[in-house]
């Protein structure tokens, strides 16, 4: 099963010191990733598992730790 997720909003963790960036660069990355669509090719038993997978995708895409995010499920394909 494929779940298609659209990222509506993201806020990165300002205490993330592994990749310290200035505020304007962090805001630019936040702006760029909002609206991004992720395709997750697995089934999720609950929303917590889905949200963990989304968070991992965001971190993988940006290299930044996530504080919080909002998303919508755009579609689910069998």
- pLDDT band at residue 8 using 50, 70 and 90 as cut-offs: very high
- pLDDT band at residue 45 using 50, 70 and 90 as cut-offs: confident
Question: Lowest-confidence range among 18-22, 24-28, 46-50, 58-62?
Answer: 18-22
Q: Which residue has the higher pLDDT, 10 or 16?
A: 10
Query: Would you state the pLDDT for residue 24?
Result: 84
- Cβ neighbours of 42 (radius 10 Å): 10
Query: Would you state the pLDDT for residue 17?
Result: 65
CB 27 within 8 A of CB 64: no
Domain boundaries, position 15: 2-77
Question: Lowest-confidence range among 17-26, 49-58, 64-73?
Answer: 17-26
Return the sign of the alpha-carbon dihedral for residues 42, 45, 49, 51.
Answer: positive
CB 4 within 8 A of CB 39: yes
Tell me how many domains the chain contains: 1
| 3 state DSSP class of 73 | strand
């Amino acid at each position: 099963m494929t779940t298609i997720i659209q990222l509506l909003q993201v806020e990165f963790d300002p205490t993330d010191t592994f990749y310290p960036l200035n505020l304007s660069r962090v805001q630019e990355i936040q702006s760029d990733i909002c609206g991004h669509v992720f395709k997750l090719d697995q089934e999720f038993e609950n929303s917590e598992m889905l949200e963990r997978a989304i968070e991992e995708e965001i971190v993988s895409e940006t290299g930044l730790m996530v504080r919080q995010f909002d998303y919508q499920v755009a579609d689910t394909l069998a």
